[in-house]
A and B are shown apart, each in its own frame.
Chain A
Amino acid sequence: MMNQKDNKTPWADSLIASYAAKPESENLGELRFPTRKDEYWKYTRTNQIAKNSWSFQDAEISSDQVENAIDGIKNCVVFINGKFDAPHSIELPKGISVANTDAAVESFAAEKPFNPFRILNEALPQTCLDIAIENNTVLDEAINFVFIYHGKDSVANPFNRVKIGANSSVKWIERHIHIGEHATFGNVCTQIRLGENAYCGMDILQSGTGSSNHHEEIEVSVEKGARYVQNSFTLSGNWTRNNTQVSIVGENAEANLNGFYIPAQKELVDNHTIIDHQVAHCNSNELYRGVMLDQSTGVFNGKVFVRQDAQKTNAFQSNGNILMSDNATMNSKPELEIYADDVKCSHGSTTGQFDDEAMFYLMARGISKSTAQKMLVGAFAADVLELLVHEELHEEIENAIHKKLG
């Protein structure tokens, strides 16, 4: 049994006190953070979040620091500790609006959130990024939504609400950048609704510090004929958990979730996905790959539901991992629950050591060990990189991977 006392979060009460508009009924002081006895959190501790005293920080960040973080990035819409930062942002295109909010915002989801991250986010968001695209609209210029987290024990709860009208197409890049030496906690919640025959393509780049915590919850619903693509790249950060839940609610729709992660030292990266096939004739594809260095930990849990009505479903899932050190750990769990009988579903999970034979082959041709490693890890990552919505990110991500390999 969980010890309630251990999961008290007194800091949440003072968070509320500092929040202008009081949320009505949430008892945040008793946020129950999951423990490793909870099946969904078996491999990922939340202690360091539950026990820290988080607060909203308005600590000044210098313009230099912001410019440094967004250096070379075009079309930025910047959020600093959850608040919209107009000076560094472009003029928002039609359909995109941002509100610095001190009031609880309306969620698309009907049910009450059950996990503490979402409760916290929904009760105390600092910003609501609203993307509301009318029918028959194409937004094809890539926008970079850049979320910067900084300051001692600072928590930020960005809330993003996306509604894409029928036959419309939208793509964007999301960057989550933790900076500085202090503990930070980014707690993002994104809700996406794709209308009929709509397209949404998103590349997410996460980079953190030795004391950053990043929780990102993405909840998507995909209507008839619509196509959803999400690629997440976790390049650094002490603690990262990504929860993605996609409900496919209209026929001939498609969902694609892909990711690459390369934790080092004691970093942890946890990707949990749920794809819920509720109706017939839909496809889903998942490709997650990871390279674990040093004493790092990786977690992948991919759940696929194929409901009784979801005949002719094609659902493919693949998770491949390389452990680069004897002290690295990977926990991978594919879970398929299939209630329809005429479906094609497959899943595969592999975790292995680095290929010594390939290393020797490359080195025997005069290639140094470090270059050989970069080539092999690059080749492993390439299958995910090829799926990028924004091809122009390819080199940037590859460079970040190389940097990580040293």
Chain B
Amino acid sequence: MLSIKDLHAEVEGKSILNGLNLEIKPGEVHAIMGPNGSGKSTLASVLAGNEAFEVTDGSVDFEGEDLLEMGPDERSHAGLFLAFQYPIEIPGVSNINFLKTAINEKREALGQEPISAKEFLAMVKEKAALVELDNKLANRSVNEGFSGGEKKRNEIFQMAMLEPKLGILDETDSGLDIDALRIVANGVNQLRSPERSFVVVTHYQRLLDYIVPDFVHVLYNGKIVRTGGKELALELEEKGYDWIKKEEDQLA
């Protein structure tokens, strides 16, 4: 589904990703872990098409298409979804209008009819329930005045509405208390399917207790330096990242 080869990216002239490789097949959940500044969030932003990051080398193939040639909106239409680490507040744009516009622009791009009001409302009701999102929040301005937990739940709600093929969760666990974490993880788990894949970017093993990954990758200095199963996350939780850093720094 997603094939990243030798990806290099920089921001403001500083190189962050230095030859990253990653293969993701349908239905798989990949966790990306790593110390601060290793490039985890940059990877998520680059995949979603944030122009603040410049790809200097490498390729990304998504469902047979060159992902790097697409704008952020086209990537969304193709089935990619980024749950933001820091969801943006947009005063004056209602959550509902925003989602309806998003769904209809995708449908238009795919040559489909716009969603009917009835169908849309039924979908909002169903998907909001997935993450126990208050209906009132759906009618407010996008993320405006939302608590940290509400913002993250809103991200998963949007993901559920847009039904992507690949969901990228950028530190969705940060700033969540244990109850909110459980709700968010539960929402994600309900969206898991044999066709839908996830990239879960996180600092901590905790989230992976709830969203159990098929693979765990450790990112350091903009490269994947270790890959294992879910037990790798437990090992990192116990031993920290220092041993990996040391080994890698020695190799270098």
Contact = CB atoms under 8 A, between A and B. Distances in A.
Contacts of A369: 71, 73
A369 B77 CA distance: 13
Given A365-B162, A366-B106, A379 B92 contact: yes
A375 B48 contact: no
A382 interface: yes
Contacts of B162: 365-366
B92 A363 contact: no
Interface string A264-288: 0000000000000000000000000
Interface residues of B, number: 33
Contacts of A367: 73, 98, 101-102, 105
A365 B101 CA distance: 9
Nearest to B48: A364
Contacts, number: 80
Interface stretch (B35-43, B80-88, B182-190, B205-213): B80-88
Contact of B98 (A356, A375, A380): A375
A345 B109 CA distance: 50
Contacts of A382: 92
Nearest to B83: A364
B76 A364 contact: yes
The residue in B50, B81, B87, B93 that gathers the most chain A C-beta atoms within 10 A of its C-beta is: B93
Given A364-B72, A366-B106, A369-B71, A375 B93 contact: yes
B90 interface: yes
Contacts of B48: 360, 364
The residue in A363, A365, A367 that gathers the most chain B C-beta atoms within 10 A of its C-beta is: A365
A361 B84 contact: yes
A187 B236 CA distance: 75
Nearest to A374: B101
Contacts of A21: none
Given A368-B105, A375-B98, A363 B88 contact: no
A360 B86 CA distance: 12
A372 B48 CA distance: 16
Contacts of A60: none
Nearest to B73: A363
B34 to A, nearest CB: 23
A381 to B, nearest CB: 9
A362 interface: yes
A363 B102 CA distance: 9
A104 B182 CA distance: 78
A361 B83 CA distance: 10
B222 interface: no
A366 B102 contact: yes
A367 B77 CA distance: 9
A363 B76 contact: yes
A372 B76 CA distance: 14
Contacts of A180: none
A58 interface: no
Given A375-B93, A376-B90, A378-B92, A365 B51 contact: no
A371 B101 contact: yes
Contacts of A378: 92-93
B49 interface: yes
A366 B109 contact: yes
B92 A366 contact: no
A232 to B, nearest CB: 20
Given A362-B90, A365-B76, A366-B73, 16 more contacts: A358-B90, A362-B93, A363-B49, A363-B72, A363-B73, A365-B99, A365-B162, A366-B77, A366-B109, A367-B102, A368-B105, A369-B71, A375-B90, A375-B98, A376-B90, A379-B92
